[in-house]
Amino acid sequence: MSSQIRRWCLAIALGGVLLSTGNIAARADARPDGGKPPAVSCASLDEVRSNIDRIDRAIVPLLAERATYVAEAAKFKSSQSTVVDVSRVERIIARVRVMAEENGADPALIERLYRGMIETYTTFEKGVWAPPPPAP
């Protein structure tokens, strides 16, 4: 993976973007409660932070993987102007809103997170189309 992709992945992760797809979604579907997150009752702030860190360790690799597919998608698009597919974005938003409801999350919050993530990945994908800097 190029250093540019790694930097974008880190920026996205540090930006607090949450993603719940792939293996995380598959594990949620296997829960006996139908995918609802477990009730949370922590004994300390350290326990809360430890669990957030655990979740981040699952999210960041998925964001990194997603970035590699975003870069791959650029190869199939004819120009920088074809990077954004509004109908695809709206289908993604509709799908993740349903997933949010199924998992006990606020659909509006998940939509905002996804719109921010998609905007960031779109900027990244457009960067794939940018001409390389001139050689020194």
Q: What is the pLDDT of residue 33?
A: 56
Task: Please answer whether residues 42 and 48 qualify as being in contact, where contact means their C-beta atoms are separated by less than 8 angstroms.
Answer: yes
DSSP output for 21-85: -HHHHHHHHTSTTSSPPPP---SSHHHHHHHHHHHHHHHHHHHHHHHHHHHHHHTT-SSGGGS--
DSSP output for 72-86: HHHTT-SSGGGS--H
- The conformation of residue 135, written as its DSSP 8-state character, comes to P
Q: What is the pLDDT of residue 3?
A: 52
Task: Provide the whole-model pTM.
Answer: 0.67
The whole-angstrom separation of Cα 5 and Cα 97 is: 27
Residues with pLDDT less than 50, the chain: 1, 5-30, 32
